[in-house]
């Protein structure tokens, strides 16, 4: 993937700004011993997270249900009055879910936009985490953004101690491979993790919960079980497993119809950049997040629109709607009128389904 956005989740108010977004590339590389996969072309200098970064999915009831499920798992392990730290708490939706359940929690995230005194708008490190006392650490969709994840976990162990429990929610690379999900590979994620990797670094003592229809895993472990060192790695370029899937979608987009993507998150932006870099085949990307609407996605400058901006009843059997995540398909289709277009649910369908 030689030309993709440095940030998938950064949208712009004008098409010109979007086209001038920072450019990055991905060269997937794998450790043949532990299964760790990383982007050998990751450029940390391009990555500056701030309040303009928008990756929240909480406008979806389906995703809210997922957050509740993850909270249930974590709550089942918490003792009364435990002190909890969430590293990478984002816009604080999950943070507030736990607070509403009575959890004593503080958070760290430079992209946080609110005013809670319990959340520090900084990265968590040895300096900002000094004097922090916590018996449980939570990291949801954060570790995959950190260039040296094992070193970060090791430093975390040094800051808060080995008696601290950690919960890590993260995409499962096994799911990406199984579904040939090239739309789940992007520069924002320098790392891709398997269950075997976490079992390895936590001495076989990690407890792994598969969540969100197995797309994600919630790793539960004690920092004291984290190995103090890792053996030398033998790294090789990861085999190309995505070319057939990319060709399949390229053929669909080449037909003489209108194409829409539902989902202006990382998946949708990656899909658009790989398959329609000149923005000539995809009319728009639809999203229910009002902070993304009336903006333009990185590099391709496809417009992001609310569902109300499209007259769905005018679509014909030549047109396609690509839903970027099968977890949201039922919720999305229930919100739309009867349509004549074909709907393709990524991660689920091999052929379009007629609605």
Model pTM? 0.92
pLDDT higher at 232 or 238: 238
pLDDT at 3: 84
Confidence band for 348, pLDDT divided at 50, 70 and 90: confident
- Region of 12 (left: φ > 0; alpha: ψ -120 to 50; beta: rest) is beta
Retrieve residue 88's tokens: 């990478």
pLDDT above 70 covers a percentage of the chain that reads: 95
* pLDDT tens, residue by residue, 18-28: 999 999 999 99
Q: What is the pLDDT of residues 305-334, one digit of tens each?
A: 999 999 999 999 999 999 999 999 999 999
**Six-digit token pair at 299?**
């590099």
What b-and-e string marks burial along 201-240, b requiring 16 or more CB atoms within 10 Å of the CB?
Answer: bbeeebebeebbeebbbbbbbbbeebeeeeeeeeeeebee
pLDDT (tens digit per residue) in 177-201: 999 999 999 999 999 999 999 999 9
**Given this model, what pLDDT does residue 236 score?**
83
* Least confident residue range of 141-155, 205-219, 338-352: 338-352
The candidate with the shortest Cα–Cα distance to 249, out of 330, 315, 346, 326, is 346
Q: Could you tell me the end-to-end alpha-carbon distance of the chain, in angstroms, rounded to an integer?
A: 33
| In the predicted structure, residue 165 carries a pLDDT above the cut 70 | yes
DSSP per residue over 213-269, as a string?
A: TTTEEEEEEEGGGS-S------EEEPP---HHHHHHHHHHHTSSS-EEEE--SHHHH
Which 8-state DSSP code applies to residue 302? P
Mean pLDDT of 126-132: 91
**What pLDDT band is residue 56 in, cutting at 50, 70 and 90?**
low
Whether the pLDDT of residue 250 is over 60: the answer is yes
pLDDT, tens digit, 9 for 90 and up, residues 262-307: 999 999 999 999 999 999 999 999 999 999 999 999 999 999 999 9
For residue 227, give the nearest of 249, 203, 250 by alpha carbon: 203
Instruction: Say what the pLDDT of residue 73 is.
Output: 98
- C-alpha–C-alpha distance, residues 186 and 57, integer Å: 18
Q: If you average pLDDT over each of 57-61, 238-242, 296-300, which comes out highest?
A: 296-300
List of residues 6+ apart from 130 with CB closer than 8 A? 159
Task: Report DSSP state, residue 140.
Answer: E
Which domains does the chain possess? 23-236 (3.40.50.150), 241-350 (3.40.50.720)
pLDDT band of 17, cuts 50, 70, 90: very high
Confidence at residue 311, expressed as pLDDT on a 0 to 100 scale? 96
Average pLDDT (123-135) is 92
Give percent of the chain above pLDDT 90.
Answer: 81
pLDDT of 353 over the 60 cut: no
User: Is 354's pLDDT higher than 50?
Assistant: no
- 54 Cα distance to chain centroid: 11
State the Cα–Cα distance between residues 309 and 334, nearest whole angstrom: 17
Q: For 100-118, write each residue's pLDDT tens digit.
A: 999 999 999 998 989 999 9
Gap between the Cα atoms of 242 and 179, Å rounded: 9
- Per-residue pLDDT band for 210 (boundaries 50, 70, 90) equals very high
């Amino acid at each position: 993937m030689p030309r993709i956005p440095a940030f998938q989740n950064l949208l712009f108010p004008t098409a010109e700004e979007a086209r001038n977004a920072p450019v990055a590339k991905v060269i997937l590389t794998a450790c043949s011993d532990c299964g760790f996969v990383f982007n050998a072309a990751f450029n940390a200098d391009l990555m500056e997270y701030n309040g303009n970064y928008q990756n929240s999915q909480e406008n979806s009831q389906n995703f809210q249900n997922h957050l509740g499920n993850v909270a249930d798992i974590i709550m089942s392990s918490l003792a009364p009055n435990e002190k909890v730290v969430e590293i990478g708490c984002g816009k604080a939706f999950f943070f507030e879910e736990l607070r509403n359940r009575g959890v004593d929690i503080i958070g760290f995230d430079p992209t946080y936009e609110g005013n809670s005194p319990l959340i520090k708008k900084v990265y968590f490190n040895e300096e900002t985490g000094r004097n922090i006392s916590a018996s449980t650490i939570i990291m949801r969709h954060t570790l995959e953004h950190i260039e040296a994840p094992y070193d970060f976990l090791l430093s975390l162990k040094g800051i808060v101690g080995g008696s601290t429990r950690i919960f890590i929610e993260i995409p499962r690379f096994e799911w990406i491979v199984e579904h040939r999900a090239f739309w789940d590979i992007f520069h924002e994620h320098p790392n891709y993790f398997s269950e075997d990797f976490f079992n390895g670094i936590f001495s076989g003592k990690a407890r792994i919960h598969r969540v969100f229809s197995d797309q994600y895993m919630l790793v539960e472990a004690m920092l004291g079980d984290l190995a103090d060192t890792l053996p030398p790695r033998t790294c090789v370029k990861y085999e190309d497993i995505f070319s057939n899937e990319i060709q399949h979608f390229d053929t669909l987009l080449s037909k003489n119809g209108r194409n829409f993507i539902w989902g202006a998150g990382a998946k949708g932006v990656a899909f658009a950049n790989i398959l329609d870099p000149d923005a000539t085949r995809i009319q728009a990307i639809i999203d229910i997040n009002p902070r993304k609407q009336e903006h333009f996605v990185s590099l391709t400058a496809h417009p992001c629109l609310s569902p109300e901006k499209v007259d769905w009843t005018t679509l014909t059997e030549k047109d396609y709607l690509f839903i970027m995540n099968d977890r949201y398909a039922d919720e999305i289709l229930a919100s739309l009128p009867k349509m004549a277009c074909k709907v393709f649910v990524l991660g689920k369908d091999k052929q379009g389904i007629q609605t």
